[in-house]
Structure formats: structure tokens, C-alpha cells
Amino acid sequence: MPIIITTHDPILLNSAFVPIPISQHRRAIFPPSQRSPPRILRFSPRSDMDAAAGQGLYPLHRCKTLHLVRHAQGFHNVEGDKNPDAYLSYDLFDANLTPLGWSQVDNLRKHVKTSKISKGIELVIVSPLLRTMQTAVGVFGGEAYTDGITAPPLMNDNVGDSGRPAISSLNCPPFIAVEQCREHLGIHPCDKRRSITEYQNMFPAIDFSLIESDEDILWKPDIRETNEEVAARGLKFFEWLWTRKEKEIAVISHSGFLFHALSSFGDDCHPTIKSEICTHYANCELRSVVIIDRGMIGSDNPATNYPGKIPAGLDLPSDIADEKLSGNGQAN
């Protein structure tokens, strides 16, 4: 049954009901002495489609923009597409990008430049595997590294027998490697990483300081992480992002991690939006999303808000003055 509320006071709506205009509603009776009728809102239980069509409003300082990227085509993708058993082969240990994968990287780099995405990114977070780091530095890194530059390169030349020149760390955001956004752990050798010492020689300007062990102690040859465990790891990763001060971040990760980590989101949205969030990523696909801190996880102060009343002065709003005169309300 609809609920009819007649009131002069502000109403705080919860998520269970939505207002429906009823300007012609006949059941409400107004006393003749009343100069203006009270506001009438008719509430009906929210249907699934109503909920899907809802809107949200959040403080800007409690939001972050993420540019989520799956790595470009690796040799394991090619061999695994031909024969899924190839994923069990140690020949594909920490697989690097194919020549086609590098072409995908070049095209995504053009896109982030022409769309000006690259100008706003403050940090690049990357899974510490060869294919993700190659993708990250190729898309978001500086230009080709040349002699005479004193800053260490993001990537040395010919890493992974790629034939690619070294990539500069100048004029680009900092890069940091994070284990939490790795692919499913275990069994597949392509998802096992090298030692951090090896990676530091390949990618001198990537920050590996958050990785505690030089060797890969997370990958097990006989145990594969479940989808549920990857999803839980993904949620912890998104919570960790709120400890970072940066507001616009690129994350370069993997198909399985992104799919299962994002599967926890979007259930309160229209099905089309849910599918935009949770479908599998293509190689070198980028999707930009906003995450919202609704639980006070972060503690950043608003950088763009302005308190007003500088200098201070009288500022009673007319609507609050009307409430004071009628005796029906209090100033907010």
C-alpha cells in the first residue's frame, strides 16, 4: 500500500521508498484557515527497476577515480587459447607480451594521450608480473629513454626479449608494484613471478618496496586460489586504495583478478551498469570507474570545499526565517 505523508517538515528518504508526485490527489483535506497546504508526498515501495534507476550523491573527497586495465596479450594467452593445458606449462613461466600485445599497448597509449586521461593520473599501481609491468610502463610511462638522462628508466631495453627500447621515468606518475592485484595464485606457472631482484634490474624506476619477499612465496604449485578468495583479496585491495592520498589512479592487473574483485559491486545498479562493471576484460582494455567511501575508510579532508563566511556576517536563509516565524522549525 502507498504511504501518504502530510508535513511541513523536511523528510529524509530511506532506500526502501521513492516519492511519486500526486498533485491531483483527492484524499487530503486542508483546513480552510490554512494559508497554504502542507507538502504531500506519496510513497510506494521501491521496485527493482526503481532501485536500479536511483541516483547517488557523495562528497567529492570521498571518491577516487580508477582507470582499470588488463594487461596486453601475453604468450600464455595465445598458447592457452589453442590448448588450455598449456597454462600448466613451465615454458610459459611469467609470460611476457607478444608483438601483438605490444601493438595493443601502443594503441592504448595513444588513447590515454588523446583523451587526456594521462594528465590526471597521480599514481600507477601494477601487478608484479612481467606482462603487467610491460603494459603499465608502455601505456603510462615516459618517452623513449635516451643517453644523458640521469633518472633511472622505468624499463630497460629489450626486457623479455621484446626488442623494445628503454622507457623513461620522466614526465609520468610514480609506479608502484602491489602483490594484492595479482592474478589467481597457484598451479599456472604463467602466474608465478620472478624474484624482485630480477625485476628491479628490468624495471629500475618501479617501486617494489611494498613487496616483502624477494622470492614468490604466494604462488603454490599444487593449490589454486578459489574465485571467492580472489574476490576477497580484491576487496582488501580496494580498501587499501583508501589509505593512498592520490585521487586518480591507474591499476594494471589481470582478467581473473579484475572480474572477481569487481563482482562484489553493482548489485544495486541497473543490470546494464552491473554488466559494465563485471564483464571480463579484453587484453589491454581500459575502463574508468569511481569508487566511493561510504564507510569512512579514508580520512582525507576536502580539498575543494570552502567554508564560507569569510569575513563572517549575518546570513539567515529566508526559508529558515519562515520556519522560525511559523514556530514549526529550527535553524539548521
Contact 253, 132 (CB under 8 A): yes
CA separation, residue 31 to residues 34, 35, 36, 48, 299 (Å): 5, 9, 10, 38, 50
Please tell me which residue in 67, 71, 76, 184 is annotated as part of the active site: 71
Q: Is 183 in the active site?
A: yes
Please tell me which residue in 79, 183, 225, 323 is annotated as part of the active site: 183
Helix boundaries (H) for the chain: 48-52, 75-82, 99-114, 117-120, 130-140, 196-202, 227-241, 255-262, 271-278, 318-326
CA separation, residue 250 to residues 77, 141, 154, 185, 285 (Å): 23, 12, 16, 22, 12
- Omega into 311 within 30° of 0, i.e. cis? yes
Residue length of the chain: 332
Q: Is 8 in the active site?
A: no
Cite the active site residues.
Answer: 71, 183
